[in-house]
Structure 1
Amino acid sequence: MLSEKTVKDLIDNALEERSDLFLIDLKVNPDNKISVVIDGDNGVTVEDCMFMSRGIENNLDREEVDFSLDVASSGATSPLINTRQYKKNIGRTLAVKAKPDLKFEGELTDVDEAGVTLEWKTKEPKPVGKGKITVNKQAKIMYDDILEAKVIIKF
């Protein structure tokens, strides 16, 4: 049986050559099915997936162990889980579910070691008189409080 550490070491070696790519998820099942999900600072192409696949496959001996390998990109609708994913999406609209039971939707304007900053506009009642005014809002959300964050794709 393949160990996850063996495969992770092969992935790390490949990522040393391609610092623009990074690992999102790795699973090695007991039946030696390897599933790898990658992302990149500039997105992921089919060639990037092939590069990663070769980096793993060419360093494992099929005579020694039989395995299947699937390398994929994280996808546009997948939740963000890595700090680098947040950084590459600055300027885009995110929908964030956060603790305790909060929901935010706004433009991702800043990312740091602790969390993310979202900004959005909303209509609120005027302080005096009838009607509403547009108000700029901002929220700093800590990574530990984020339950799920997804990029909103607008058509």
Structure 2
Amino acid sequence: MTELRQAIEELVEKHLPDDSHFVVEVKLEEKLGKTRVLILIDSDEGVTIQACAKVSRAVSEELEAKEMVGEAYVLEVSSPGLDFPLGSKRQYQKNIGRELKLTLASGADVSGKLLEVDSEKVKLLVKKKEKGKKATEEEVLFPFAEIKKSIVQVSFK
């Protein structure tokens, strides 16, 4: 399954609309004798339905021509939802300026505004509230190795 997943990921990369698009994840699941191929793509400017349809058609044609997956399969191409954890540096960079909720390896949750990203860590502006005092903001670095999950927080302001 790992080799097939990698082969499909390479197909997807070949058929992305342009350099602003990238693969987030390729998942393969077996359900009731059918293989479900889930492809998540993202873009620095956001993903359109047209981009998903283009990738879906191109990948589907190649999967069938090369008989890479059994006859009974379901192919889904979409962008990751807001509740989908960030997984790559590129996804973090796309969300600079937005509020994130990090779940750390220690189990603690931290929320703050994403300020910077580099190859090893992220910098958040975190609000610190001490009892009886006015809340202050502090820039805090979090190495990727300590981050278990990162979710963009939706603001309706």
With structure 2 as the length reference, what TM-score do the two structures score?
Answer: 0.83
* In 2: Cα distance, 1:12 partner to 1:63 partner: 17
Please state how far the C-alpha of 1:5 moved relative to its aligned partner: 3.4
**Aligned with 1:53 (options 51, 56, 59):** 56
Secondary structure at the residue paired with 1:3?
A: helix
How is 1:105-144 mapped onto 2 (pairs within 5 angstroms)?
A: 105-124=111-130, 131-144=132-145
Aligned pair count reads: 149
Structure 2 unaligned regions, length at least 5: none
Q: Deviations over 1:19-78 (max 9, x none)?
A: 111111112345333111111111111111112112201223369452321111101121
* In 2: Cα distance, 1:89 partner to 1:149 partner: 11
2:27 corresponds to: 27
1:96 corresponds to: 102
2:14 corresponds to: 13
Secondary structure at the residue paired with 2:151?
A: strand
> How well do the aligned residues superpose, as a CA RMSD in angstroms?
2.3
* In 2: Cα distance, 1:133 partner to 1:6 partner: 54
Identical positions, percent: 30
The range that moved more, 52-61 or 70-79, is 52-61
Structure 1 unaligned regions, length at least 5: 126-130
With structure 1 as the length reference, what TM-score do the two structures score?
Answer: 0.84
Specify the structure having the higher radius of gyration (Cα).
1
